[in-house]
C-alpha cells in the first residue's frame, strides 16, 4: 500500500513558513547579541553611554577632615620628599558641573606635567566647596605631591589599600597653579599641612567609586 502523494503547494507553503521563522529568530538573536555587547562596552567604558548627562544626587560632601601628617622615612631623615610626578597615579573625576569637561581639562594639565593619569570620569554626586584628593594611608606622599599643584584643596582619607589617588573636581574648583608657583623641589622635604593629624589617629571614610571598582595597586 503506497502513501498518498504530498501536495506540492502545501510543501512549498510549509518551507516558506519555516524560512520566515528562521529569519525572524535569527534577527532577534542578532539583536540581543548586539544589545548585550553594547551594554558590556558601556559598562567597561569602551564606548560612551548614549545618555549625555550623568545622574547626580544631592551633595553628600564629607565633613571637614584634617589631612594626614607625612610619614617618617628612614631613607630621608629630614622628611619625605616629593615624588616624581610620573610616580603619582591619579584618577580624575568631575564632581561639579556635568555640563563641562572639568575632569578632562584637569587631566590634560596634569598629564602635561608628567602625572600618571589613569582615568577620568564623572563622580556620582556633587562635592561642594574645594576640590578633594581622596587617598589611602599608603598614598600620603602622593596626595601631598598632587595637592601642591593647587592653592586650595582638601585631603580626605578613605579606606583604600593602594597608592592610587583620586582627584574630585568640586564646585569651588580652582585651576592648578602655574608650574613656577608650585612650592616643590625634588631635593627639599615636603612640609606638613596645617592642622595635620597622624594617620593612625584619623578615621578613614568608606571608599566611594567613580568608574567601576578600579584596582588601587
Note the pLDDT tens digit of each residue in 66-103: 999 999 887 777 889 999 999 999 999 999 988 889 99
Instruction: Look at residue 143 in the predicted model and tell me its pLDDT.
Output: 98
What span, in angstroms and rounded, lies between the C-alpha atoms of 96 and 159?
Answer: 23
128-140 pLDDT, tens digit each: 999 999 999 999 9
Highest mean pLDDT out of 4-13, 67-76, 143-152 = 143-152
Length of the chain: 217
Average pLDDT over residues 106-120: 97
Question: Tens digits of per-residue pLDDT, 20-58?
Answer: 667 766 777 877 778 777 666 655 545 555 544 444 444
Domain residue spans in the chain? 7-50, 85-201
Contacts of 203 (CB under 8 A, 6+ apart): none
State the pTM of this model: 0.70
- Evaluate if residue 2 carries a pLDDT over 90: no
Q: For residue 33, what pLDDT is reported?
A: 76
Query: How crowded is residue 16: how many other Cβ atoms within 10 Å of its Cβ?
Result: 10
Tracing cell 616643590 back to the chain, one arrives at: 184
186, three cell numbers: 625634588
Region 188-204: mean pLDDT is 96
pLDDT of residue 60: 47
For the chain, what is the mean pLDDT?
84
The C-alpha cell that represents 102 in the structure block: 572639568
What are the CA-CA distances from residue 98 to residues 24, 57, 121, 122, 207 (Å)?
A: 42, 12, 10, 7, 22
pLDDT value at 62 more than 70: no
The percent of residues in the chain predicted with pLDDT above 90, rounded, is: 59
Dihedral in degrees, nearest 10, Cα atoms 34, 38, 43, 45: 140
What's the mean pLDDT in 105-111?
Answer: 97
**H/E/C letters for each residue in the chain?**
CCCCCCCHHHHHHHHHHHHHHHHHHHHHHHHHHHHHHHHHHHHCCCCCCCCCCCCCECCCCCCCCCCECCCCECCECCCCCCCCHHHCEEEEEECCCCCCCHHHHHHHHHHHHCCEEEEEEECCECCCCCCEEEECHHHHHHHHHHHCCCCCCEEEEECCCCCCEEEEECCCCCCCCCHHHCCCCCCCCCCCCCCCECHHHCCCECCCCCCCCCCCC
Nine-digit cell string for 80: 619625605
User: 155-184 pLDDT, tens per residue?
Assistant: 999 999 999 999 999 999 999 999 999 999
Amino acid at each position: 500500500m503506497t502513501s498518498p502523494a504530498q501536495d506540492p503547494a502545501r510543501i512549498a507553503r510549509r518551507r516558506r513558513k519555516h524560512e520566515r521563522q528562521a529569519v525572524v529568530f535569527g534577527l532577534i538573536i542578532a539583536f540581543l547579541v548586539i544589545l548585550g555587547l553594547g551594554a558590556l562596552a558601556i559598562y567597561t567604558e569602551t564606548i560612551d553611554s548614549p545618555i549625555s548627562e550623568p545622574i547626580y544626587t544631592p551633595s553628600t560632601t564629607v565633613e571637614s577632615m584634617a589631612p594626614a601628617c607625612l610619614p617618617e622615612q628612614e631613607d630621608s631623615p629630614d622628611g619625605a620628599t616629593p615624588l616624581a610626578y610620573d610616580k603619582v597615579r591619579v584618577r580624575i573625576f568631575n564632581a561639579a558641573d556635568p555640563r563641562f569637561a572639568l575632569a578632562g581639562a584637569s587631566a590634560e594639565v596634569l598629564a602635561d606635567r608628567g602625572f600618571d593619569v589613569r582615568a577620568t570620569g564623572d563622580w556620582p554626586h556633587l562635592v561642594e566647596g574645594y576640590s578633594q584628593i581622596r587617598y589611602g594611608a599608603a598614598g600620603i606622599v602622593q596626595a601631598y605631591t598632587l595637592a601642591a599643584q593647587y592653592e586650595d584643596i582638601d585631603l580626605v582619607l578613605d579606606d583604600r589599600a593602594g597608592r592610587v589617588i583620586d582627584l574630585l573636581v568640586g564646585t569651588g574648583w580652582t585651576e592648578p597653579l602655574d608650574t613656577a608657583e608650585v612650592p616643590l623641589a625634588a631635593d627639599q622635604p615636603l612640609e606638613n599641612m596645617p592642622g595635620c593629624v597622624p594617620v593612625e589617629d584619623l578615621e578613614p571614610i568608606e571608599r566611594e567609586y567613580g568608574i567601576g571598582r578600579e584596582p588601587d595597586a
